[in-house]
Every structure is written in C-alpha cells, then in structure tokens.
Amino acid sequence: TINVESERKVADSHLNLYKELHNLRQKSTFINGEAQVKALNQNVLAIRRSLKGDYTYITLVNIWDEFEFIDLSVAFPETTSSEFEYVFVNRRSQHSKKDKTKPYSITLMPKEAVVLKSKKIE
C-alpha cells in the first residue's frame, strides 16, 4: 500500500509528479493560451500551448515501447530557432528539469512524457 506520507518523501513519486503538473496548469499560458494538438507520428503526441507575451509549452508523450527521435520544427516550424528547457520529466526520462534542448534533436525514451518550455513570444 502506498500512502501520502511516503509519497511526499520521494521526489518523483506519483503524488509529487501530479503536484508539478498541477502547478504548470496554473501558468497563464495554460489558462489563457491557444492549444494545438498534433500526432508527430504513430507513437508520439505533441500538445503545444502558446500565449503572446508569455512562454510556449510543448508536452510530448511517447506511447511506444521504443525510443523516438523527434524534430519539433517539422510539426511546429515556428520553433526552428528556439531553445527549449525541460520543465517536467517523468520517471522514465533520461533528462532532468532545466536541461536544454533544440527542437530538432529530442529523444524520448519508451513511455516517456515531458513538458518543454521555450522563450516568451513577443
């Protein structure tokens, strides 16, 4: 049995991951921004949230049992010159929060989900 007390003590517990996602949902981009949902291929779903004057967030979910190599600039050409920061990673991730990446060189582990943040849109 898993209880809340033990979950609080583990940084990547389900409880703490849920809290991180809940905090992201409070950002103005998620509340007031536009959403674009795209299947990047048969295995990866991307959700882009953007708001003028604020950050753009892209959620990537690999539902497959294999590595996926992603070029976001194909699906979202406006991201070509952007640098992204990992703001949410799950247990399966080889990345850490605050790691940086370019849109054309993203690797997702099997069953990995991440949220990336880019610079503010003016």
pLDDT number for residue 111: 94
pLDDT number for residue 1: 56
pLDDT number for residue 121: 64
pLDDT tens per residue, range 66-87: 999 999 999 999 888 889 999 9
Task: Decide if 45 contacts 37 (C-beta within 8 A).
Answer: yes
User: Mean pLDDT in the chain?
Assistant: 89
Outline where 1-122 has alpha helix (H): 4-8, 14-25, 28-32, 72-75
Would you say how long the chain is, in residues?
122
Task: Decide if 100 contacts 118 (C-beta within 8 A).
Answer: no
Could you tell me which of 64, 63, 62, 30 has the C-alpha nearest to residue 48?
30
Type of residue found at 69: F
What domains can you pick out in the chain, each with its CATH number? 4-120 (2.60.40.1180)
